[in-house]
Chains A and B, each alone.
Chain A
Amino acid sequence: MSTEVEKFNYDDAVVRKFAFATAVWGVVATLAGLWLALMLVMPDLSFGLPQLTFGRLRPLHTNAAIFAFAGNAVFAAVYYSSQRLLKTRMFNDALSNFHFWGWQAIIVAAALTLPFGITQSKEYAELEWPIDIAIAVVWVAFAVNFFGTIARRRERHIYVAIWFYMATIITVAILHIVNNLSLPVSATKSYSIYAGVQDAFIQWWYGHNAVAFFLTTPFLGLMYYFLPKAANRPVFSYRLSILHFWSLVFIYIWAGPHHLHYTALPEWASTLGMLFSVMLWMPSWGGMINGLLTLRGAWNRVAEDPVLKFFVVGVTFYGMATFEGPLLSIKSVNALSHYTDWTIAHVHSGALGWNGFMSFGMLYWLAPRIFQTKLWSKKLAELHFWCGTFGILLYIVAIYAAGVTQGLMWRAFDATGRLQYPDFVETVVRLIPMYWVRVVGGSLFVAGMVMGLVNIVMTWKNRPASYAESTDEAPALGPYTGHTPKLVVPRYSQMTATGHAFVYFAKAQWHRVWERHPFKLAIWTAVAVIVASAFEMVPTFLIRSNVPTIASVKPYTPLELAGRDIYVAEGCYNCHSQMIRPIRAETERYGEYSKPGEFVYDHPFQWGSRRIGPDLQREGGKYPDLWHVRHMQDPRSTTPQSIMPSYAWLEHQELDFGSVQKKVDAMAMLGVPYGDAVLHAEQLAHAQSREIAERIASQGGPKHLENKQIVALVAYLQRLGTDIKHQGS
């Protein structure tokens, strides 16, 4: 074995870039969130501009928070800690730079496309196919760089933080590819290859695991490296951290279906999702306790060190959010919480409290080290901490109250057995004061983020004229000469080969081998994720009774399909669900509950996850066409207390009839039985639009709307949920 000590230096330039990007995008993401919060109380803030509506901007906020702010924080953590834990420079500086600039370009592309209604409408996976391909390319570059660094390491043992990063890289790649499989119609439009129930299942398998493997596992890697560094104490229990890792990898991937309780998803999948979600309680809390106990003997420093303050609150929010997540997955709790602001409060306690505070704890710890000067203002960091903490608390308490109020009002019956609040808008109006408190809390949090950015920029401005190289030394890694347990069956043993295999497994020495062989560890992590996913996906896709077909359910007409694309582009799913649960309060309010077979032609599904406005599954035929035209023009003309923005431009913008044929062709390729419509979709669309336009005019509405987008949207809305009405259900 080589004992010659080698000197090497670390690439901190890329860490500086990612750290800067974290602080900048953090401000952008939270400002967008604040703007959206204001829109809930001042719906005219969109100023009649399509690009500024809630439906189009909400995905921009979520994508900026998850992929721009948290993503850049994760990459800063990975690039800083991996080099030091593996005792080597990153594998390739060009790949590091490609990763940085490629990721920022993707974020900019998201900011340029989402406000223009270019979206797949899958939550946290809204970006269209060319950007998805770019994400895959950049991610592969990151993976090659990361695994190349591991291969060149000088430290034999792979520290647990690196395991968490590894699980992130592998699983995010799998999730991204599977969820974004779609058929392109043009450079800016595609249809998911999955439909209805299957699409919903895949989306929430992705959605939940994006939280797990983009917002949890890499941040745990961050915690297991930066918290011991900041506390100057080793992690409380390294054994617990390993147990934490495997438990999360094995359990998280199963939990996605809890996002679809009481929907048309098969019961068994929903129950399995709930069971595994509840099982997450233990490892999550084990990890939280491990984090907090790492500060044993250092608690006195928390009062004076803003870094430790951020970490303590961050880890505490991890505990709170991971207590609440399993709670919300329990079906009876979920029946109350689903579609309400409770979910939004939960998400923000995780994203602002856990991800936000861990990110800024790391940034404040990193800043003096990567900029090689003192932090510009410790007092400002302290002020950021208190603004952020009070901001989150105000925000989430108000939104918890709003969520529970909403849920209880939706299900309230009066003494005569009728809905106590039959008009949905009554439940909206009640929440307005809480939305204002949310604005105040959000403003405080944004103020803290701005302070953080100022502090980072000013620290950078005080940097030395040239950075000193961050160097280290370690012997090269020679071949392993220690004991390697192997499965051996002695020739004259009284025990069978199976018995020996059992003993080998039970002693778990294989795990010790994996710890030295990162690629075996990576492969087994991938196997755990793929097998768990397959266990849920295979029956969902292949057992026919899970999605019984309904004879009366037919494909959308070409015009309805074009209208559906407008519904998708406007992001209507951000405020309206299309899923009536089999709960009496819902069937009383909205009509017949949703059946899996109703969605077999829905590429992509539009079930939504939240009801700022009412469910639209049985909207078809509820109102005359003219009502929809007036409602889109000015929602407050039909519902005075509505908080929906105006969509007046739909009445003026031309419908692109030229693309209708392509869209129908794409749907036909995905297996939608369009029959004759495949040959003359455009003519059919024109014929139906003339019919609707005449009807609107005859009802006293504006004339000559036959070529306008509003007609297509009305066609779609009037079709919603009517197929099973025809069946007489």
Chain B
Amino acid sequence: MKLSDVVSALHLPLFAEVPLLVFMGIFIGVAVHLLGNKSELAQLGTLPLRDERNRGRRDLP
């Protein structure tokens, strides 16, 4: 018996729904996390503006 025989015989009517549920679970988890860490995350969002203390560059526009 081949693997394709097994998978063909499985009849997976819910196959496409499983990833939707997985996605929703992760999405909700990340959203909950983000809602709970407002000030800390806002601070982390400023990282690009804090990344060069010494410029070593001249004549910037």
State A85–B23 Cα separation when bound (angstroms).
29
State A155–B48 Cα separation when bound (angstroms).
12
Flag if A507 contacts B45 (CB, 8 Å).
no
Flag if A472 contacts B54 (CB, 8 Å).
yes
Q: Scan B15-55; emit 1 where CB is below 8 A from any A CB, else 0.
A: 11011101100110111111111100110111111011111
State A235–B15 Cα separation when bound (angstroms).
38
* Residues of the A chain whose Cβ atoms lie less than 8 Å from the Cβ of B61: 368, 374-375, 378
Given A161-B48, A229-B48, A545-B8, A243 and B34 touching (CB < 8 A)?
A: yes
A597 CB within 8 Å of chain B: no
Flag if B34 contacts A242 (CB, 8 Å).
yes
Flag if B30 contacts A229 (CB, 8 Å).
no
CB distance from B17 to the nearest CB of A (A): 10
State A432–B26 Cα separation when bound (angstroms).
49
* Residues of the A chain whose Cβ atoms lie less than 8 Å from the Cβ of B23: 250-251
* Residues of the B chain whose Cβ atoms lie less than 8 Å from the Cβ of A375: 61
CB distance from B58 to the nearest CB of A (A): 5
State A155–B53 Cα separation when bound (angstroms).
14
Set B7, B20, B56: member contacting A543, Cβ < 8 A: B7
Of all chain B residues, which has the CB nearest A272?
B16
Q: Scan A288-305; emit 1 where CB is below 8 A from any B CB, else 0.
A: 000000000000000000
Flag if B4 contacts A543 (CB, 8 Å).
yes
A-B contact count (CB 8 A): 138
A157 CB within 8 Å of chain B: yes
Counting chain B residues whose Cβ lies within 8 A of the other chain, the interface size class is 35 or more
The SS class assigned to the B binding surface is helix
Q: Scan A488-517; emit 1 where CB is below 8 A from any B CB, else 0.
A: 000000000000000001111101100000
* Residues of the B chain whose Cβ atoms lie less than 8 Å from the Cβ of A699: none
CB distance from A235 to the nearest CB of B (A): 5
B12 CB within 8 Å of chain A: yes
A139 CB within 8 Å of chain B: no
B1 CB within 8 Å of chain A: no
CB distance from A466 to the nearest CB of B (A): 12
A542 CB within 8 Å of chain B: yes
* Residues of the A chain whose Cβ atoms lie less than 8 Å from the Cβ of B19: 254, 272, 531-532, 535
CB distance from B46 to the nearest CB of A (A): 4
State A87–B51 Cα separation when bound (angstroms).
7
A414 CB within 8 Å of chain B: no
Flag if A369 contacts B15 (CB, 8 Å).
no
Of all chain A residues, which has the CB nearest B37?
A512
Smallest CB-CB A-B distances: 4 pairs: A238-B45, A508-B33, A542-B7, A84-B51
| Chain A residues near B (Cβ < 8 Å) | 9, 81, 84-85, 87, 155, 157, 159, 161, 224-225, 228-229, 232-235, 237-239, 241-243, 246-247, 250-251, 254, 268, 271-272, 275, 368-369, 372-375, 378, 464, 468-473, 505-509, 511-512, 528, 531-532, 535, 538-539, 541-545
- Beyond the given A239-B35, A246-B27, please list 18 additional residue pairs across the A-B interface where CB-CB is below 8 A: A84-B51, A159-B44, A234-B45, A238-B44, A242-B41, A243-B31, A250-B26, A271-B16, A368-B57, A368-B61, A470-B52, A472-B51, A472-B54, A505-B29, A506-B29, A531-B19, A542-B4, A542-B7
| Chain B residues near A (Cβ < 8 Å) | 3-4, 7-8, 12, 15-16, 18-20, 22-23, 26-27, 29-38, 41-42, 44-49, 51-61
